[in-house]
Amino acid sequence: MGIDLAQFHEAFFEESFEALESMEAALLKLDVGAPDPEVINTVFRVAHSIKGGAGMFNFSDIASFTHTCETLLDGVRAGRTRLTTAVMDLLLKSVDVMREMLRAAQRKESFDPQKVADLQFDLEVAVANNDVAAAPAAAVQAASAAPATEAQLPEWQISVKPLENMLSRGNEPLALFAALAEHGELSVTASIDAVPPLAKIDPHRCYVHWVLRLKSAASEQQIAEAFEWVEGDCDYRITPAAAVSPAAKPGTPAPAPPPAAAAVAPEVPSPPPAPAEAAAARPAAKTDAAPAANSGDAGSIRVSVGKIDELINTVGEVVITQSMLAQLGALVEGPSAEQLRSGLAQLERNVRELHESVMRVRMLPIGFAFSRFPRLVRDVAQRLGKQIDLKLTGEQTELDKTVLERIGDPLVHLVRNSIDHGIEKPEERVAAGKPAAGTVHLEAFHRGSAIIIEVSDDGRGLDCDRILAKARSRGLVGPSETPSEEAIFELIFLPGFSTAEQTTDLSGRGVGMDVVRRNIKSLGGKIDIRSARGRGSRFSISLPLTLAIVDGQSVCVGCETYIVPLVSIVESLQIKAGGVNRLSNAGEVISFRGDYLPLLRLYELFGAEPRSRAIHEGLVVVVEGEGQRVGLFVDDLRGQQQVVIKSLEANYGHVPGISGATILGDGAVALILDVPGLIRSTARRVAA
């Protein structure tokens, strides 16, 4: 072809991996008893496009394998092959093998051909076993075709002789015929003279050639267009047929061919089974592809994450500059000051919108992380002999791409744990009066500026006694100590802690939960456990939506400015002199809407010199986190602004009570308060 196709390989791989994912998801949606034809069409289409791509890029082994897979799918679609669990397994395995083949091709490694051949053989057996009554069904359809309305149209004779590699390059004669049939009435005669005896047949080769007669007003060029894709893969000749009706009026456009004309004569015995069905199904496949495209990838482009991050960084700087201008603008006086300020207000709105839009670019629905679970649950459950219903909710909940990518593994671990340790065997469940099939529920939703992901199951729950016994035997808990239930649950996050009596290859090696928690913490999130013996457990992960930005309220303490994330602020108020009560030695409390809240004097906590220590001369900011409220005593409130979170840990380290830093409009650094952390430290203090 003269074009270096290698430059498109990466895109092909990327698209194919995505396609395989959607194929897998669609397969898992299929009901073995009553497969939804729409879904089968989706699966078929995906396989077909991978085959086409692989053929085009000369990955002939992938193309050939996918072709076999497609044949089986085609059988399923046509109802010739019953979709049994065995066939499903086979198809899922094929997805795995295709993925591995693609991966190997991507890395330019070779892939174990035996593995492919074995599965391909299984697929072929499955096709052969179920291939029943194809020809009669097709014949009926063909007979009903060919209404003789276009007798006066010119007739073309087209001979098609595929070259050896046409099939292995992913081209299907059937598709070609369907394209031709769009021009008018088509009849196909297959010549099987060249087909060798069965023993000598190479299944990858096409031995059949065809003579087609097409009644159509289309020009030779229009007809030749159908051959564009097979150019170089087959020899063809288009000639006006001898019996052309002279009545053909040049220049008169042909009436649209009736849809029935799309049927193709069924004398084609060997390569693609079920031609009639496939041809009939193709238009259907096209129509349902359109809405799918509208909902999902309408006009999307691929952009590298690096570029987006650059954009986000720049916008972050714009946000900083904007807040600097806003501060300056407030000080300006003079005739045009008012105009300047209204312009700045406009700028602020625009910058905010710009920032939100840019941040949304990075947001992806969590469904991407959830999509692997149906398969995983199916496999794990099968291996363990358990019955699991997987429920997914909130797949549309969006979160930052980085967070999304890094939450996948912890979730896999939690789900595996739920199946392995949580859900009981069917007989155990029935004995306990529960349905035989256990439920694992993955749920995502937004709460404030956090996304909550919950993994819950209705299994046996965490066994406090066993965890405690294990902890005692390891000396983690003293023999006389009786920790609270919560504290016991905490124990399972310790490195190397596992109560599984028998470690399986799935879980129970005790390398898991501490890693899970570390990963979640590194994302600025946390994980909580709730569990009831015999009723199940729930792991609740709370993650920040994005790692880059926060709406903040500036407060000052002494000469330092701190940022309090706006989401955690309940109210700011002034307390009258004497409004603070001391709880013996444990600390101070203030009265707030009928409740008593602990009071944290930030200057004490941070070792700063306050403007005043008298409660009525400063302000109290009531903040909430982890379900608790505390009052923060500060000198004064400043403006509210969006701040870009910068890491303090990159060059320094973690500071308790501080979640990060930001750069203010004047270029100075302000620290961002870690409200949940502050609240935890108060809780510890009160407990102490």
Partner 1 sequence: MNANPTKTAASDAASRQVLTFVLGEETYGVDILRVQEIRGWSAVTKIPNSPPHVLGVLNLRGSIVPIVDLRKRFNLAQAEYTAVTVIIVLTVRSEAGRRDFGVVVDGVSDVVDVDAGAVKPTPDLGARAATDHISGLVSIAERMVVLLDIDRLIGSQLADSVGADAAAISEAARAA
Write out the residues near partner 1 by the rule CB under 8 A: 317, 560-561, 587-588, 601, 604-608, 646-648, 650-658, 661, 663, 667-671, 681-682, 684-685, 688
- Nearest-approach distance from CB 629 to partner 1, in angstroms: 17
Task: DSSP letter for 421, please.
Answer: I
With beta carbons less than 8 A apart as the criterion, state whether 366 and 444 touch. yes
Q: Which is nearer to partner 1, 73 or 670 (CB)?
A: 670
- Nearest-approach distance from CB 661 to partner 1, in angstroms: 5
The tokens for 215 are 């009644």
Q: Which is nearer to partner 1, 9 or 646 (CB)?
A: 646
User: Amino acid identity of 254?
Assistant: A
Q: Which is nearer to partner 1, 245 or 314 (CB)?
A: 314
- Nearest-approach distance from CB 679 to partner 1, in angstroms: 12
Q: Which is nearer to partner 1, 201 or 583 (CB)?
A: 583
Q: Report d(CA 547, CA 524) in Å as an integer.
A: 8
**Please, what is the end-to-end C-alpha distance for the chain in angstroms?**
78
Q: Which is nearer to partner 1, 418 or 554 (CB)?
A: 554
The tokens for 317 are 């700087």
- Nearest-approach distance from CB 618 to partner 1, in angstroms: 15
The tokens for 113 are 């051909």
The tokens for 474 are 């390891």
Task: Return the CA Rg of the chain.
Answer: 34
The tokens for 663 are 């750069």
The tokens for 572 are 């700011």
User: Amino acid identity of 421?
Assistant: H
Q: Which is nearer to partner 1, 382 or 647 (CB)?
A: 647
- Nearest-approach distance from CB 653 to partner 1, in angstroms: 3
Instruction: Give the Å distances, CA to CA, from 530 to 417, 424, 464, 629, 641.
Output: 15, 18, 12, 21, 36
Give the count of alpha carbons within 13 A of 131, CB side only.
17
Q: Which is nearer to partner 1, 290 or 650 (CB)?
A: 650
Burial of 8 (0-12, 13-18, 19+ CB in 10 A): middle
Instruction: Give the Å distances, CA to CA, from 440 to 226, 492, 520.
Output: 50, 20, 21
Burial of 471 (0-12, 13-18, 19+ CB in 10 A): buried
Q: Which is nearer to partner 1, 368 or 606 (CB)?
A: 606
Q: Which is nearer to partner 1, 443 or 674 (CB)?
A: 674
- Nearest-approach distance from CB 492 to partner 1, in angstroms: 23
Strand partners, 641: 552
Q: Give backbone dihedrals phi and psi of 556, rounded to 5 degrees, phi first.
A: -120, 145
Q: Give backbone dihedrals phi and psi of 561, rounded to 5 degrees, phi first.
A: -105, 135
Q: Which is nearer to partner 1, 622 or 671 (CB)?
A: 671
Q: Which is nearer to partner 1, 279 or 620 (CB)?
A: 620
Residue with tokens 């802690």: 497
- Nearest-approach distance from CB 552 to partner 1, in angstroms: 15
- Nearest-approach distance from CB 478 to partner 1, in angstroms: 22
- Nearest-approach distance from CB 687 to partner 1, in angstroms: 11
CB 400: neighbour CB atoms within 10 A? 20
Residue with tokens 């174990």: 112
Q: Which is nearer to partner 1, 377 or 671 (CB)?
A: 671
- Nearest-approach distance from CB 314 to partner 1, in angstroms: 11
- Nearest-approach distance from CB 584 to partner 1, in angstroms: 13
> Could you tell me the strand order of the sheet in which 549-557 lies?
636-644, 549-557, 560-565, 669-673, 658-663
Q: Which is nearer to partner 1, 257 or 657 (CB)?
A: 657
Contacts of 324 (CB under 8 A, 6+ apart): 664, 665, 666, 667
- Nearest-approach distance from CB 647 to partner 1, in angstroms: 7
- Nearest-approach distance from CB 656 to partner 1, in angstroms: 4
Q: Which of 553, 568, 417, 419 is nearest to 492 (CA)?
A: 417
Contacts of 268 (CB under 8 A, 6+ apart): 173, 188, 190, 208, 210, 275
Q: Residue 515: in which H helix or E strand, if any? A: helix 513-522
Q: Which is nearer to partner 1, 351 or 414 (CB)?
A: 351
User: In sequence order, what E strands does 46-132 have?
Assistant: none
- Nearest-approach distance from CB 500 to partner 1, in angstroms: 32
Q: Give helix then strand counts, H and E, for the chain.
A: 20, 22
Q: Which is nearer to partner 1, 186 or 673 (CB)?
A: 673
- Nearest-approach distance from CB 298 to partner 1, in angstroms: 36
3-state helix, strand, coil in the chain (%, to 5): 45, 20, 35
The tokens for 354 are 């710009």
